[in-house]
Amino acid sequence: MKFRNKKLFKINELQILIWGFLIIIFIGTILLWLPISSQNHIHTNFIDSLFVATSATCVTGLVTVDTGTHWSYFGKTVILILIQVGGLGFMAFSTLIALVSGRKITLKERLLIHESLNSFNIQGLVKMSKYILIFTFSVESIGAAILSFQFVPQFGFRKGLFYSIFHSISAFCNAGIDLVGKGKSLVPYYNNEMVILTISVLIMIGGLGFYVWQEIYNLKSFRDVRRISLHSKVCITMAIVLLILGTIFFLLFEFNNPATMKNMTLGDKMLSSFFASVSLRTAGFNSISISDMSESSKLLTIVFMFIGGAPGSTAGGIKTTTAALIIMTAVSVIMGRRETEIYKKTIKKDLVYKAIVILVIYMILILIFSMILGVTESEQSLEAIFFECVSAFGTAGLSLGITPNLSIIGKIIIVISMFFGRLGGLTIILSMVNRKIPKSIKYPEGKILIG
């Protein structure tokens, strides 16, 4: 007997994308669970293995066991591969395998790449995938080479080279996982310009988005800057604005904080403020103690983690373009304009609605998960719990120190949060909803008082 309704067995591109990430996380979990992955050659707790595998694949950076001291070289290599695959998306690596083997990319695979890269259309996706792979490996190689001047003399050739490669990939992919150990992150290098600036540049390049860099690369002269797309203009503008404002505010908030910057020189304070503005938004590295920051800095960090980086990048959050759309919509309403306008361009209402939906979904999920953790982690402060949830959803990887002490339920909640944050809450929800063709019927307008 043949089944006539073949749609029963079909899954859409979004569902394939989600299943792809789940399979990668599962494989990573099993590998990290094996005794060969730990320093003491015993099985790592399965939930901890799942947590770290999810954190690496979702390029978040939250860890329940110390990366530098718990894992063996095999375990660290597994984490490194998960970061690379998760940062670029598994479809990019599927494309790489297809190109190496000489196999043609099918239309369905192109649609998957389209969803994975969050691109405008399906034209030129294979070429763009090649560009992304070459660009990524080139930037990471340069970053590793520069970092090796610091790490090789400090740790020896083998360990120093591995540290250089690991931190370069972790920074470019905005993962924020480090090998320094004991939860110090890059605090020991707070005054090392080579390490801090190299990591900063890698984070900014990875967080700006591949589409933006492709447009910049294709510019033939400085005069062609005017022809750059609205998307790239918004991404670059938001990155610059957030970088400048973040540096200024972190410097003001932490200037006289004895637990962070008070005893630093002015140059080191500016360097640490700049790095905080770059990294705390999505990467998760830190050169000052997060838990010792002032309340104002913690609040600013929450806002930055929530915004994240650009679409189509290795960063998380609601994305800078989403924040820009919402801000400019508010400005347009205040100015009495009927449409949202950015750089003398009118934005379609569908995009504005989508931006608002993304904002609402993220806020609702963060609040729900924070309330659940408030019950399961009752010994922790609400501030630490809320910070943890925003960090997980924004794939920022920062914590006020509660991650290793989470209960089993708490760890699972954060795992789900990281997964939602990497793929996008809206993406996951749309994959589960059977979307119908919009109705042609238009109901009479109604009025509601607001504000």
pLDDT digits (tens, 9 = 90+) for 210-255: 778 878 877 766 666 777 888 888 999 999 999 999 999 999 999 9
pLDDT, tens digit (0-9, with 9 covering 90-100), for 169-180: 999 998 989 998
Per-residue confidence band for 146, with pLDDT thresholds at 50, 70 and 90? very high
Per-residue confidence band for 260, with pLDDT thresholds at 50, 70 and 90? very high
Q: Which residue has the higher pLDDT, 275 or 119?
A: 275
- 200 CB-near residues (< 8 Å, 6+ apart): 274, 275, 278, 279
In this prediction, residues 183-193 reach a mean pLDDT of 89
Q: Which residue has the higher pLDDT, 226 or 96?
A: 226
Q: Which residue has the higher pLDDT, 418 or 434?
A: 418
Q: How far is CA 448 from CA 83, 441, 445, 451, in A?
A: 47, 21, 10, 10
Torsion angles phi and psi, residue 434, rounded to 5: -85, 95
Per-residue confidence band for 381, with pLDDT thresholds at 50, 70 and 90? very high
Per-residue confidence band for 65, with pLDDT thresholds at 50, 70 and 90? very high
Task: Give the global pTM.
Answer: 0.86
pLDDT over 90 percentage in the chain: 51
Of 330, 440, 418, 432, which is closest to residue 86 (Cα–Cα)? 418
Least confident of 160-164, 178-182, 368-372: 178-182
Exposed, middle or buried, 408 (CB in 10 Å: 0-12/13-18/19+)?
A: exposed
- In whole numbers, what is the pLDDT of the chain averaged over residues? 84
Q: With 80 as the cut, is the pLDDT of residue 131 above it?
A: no
pLDDT at 8: 44
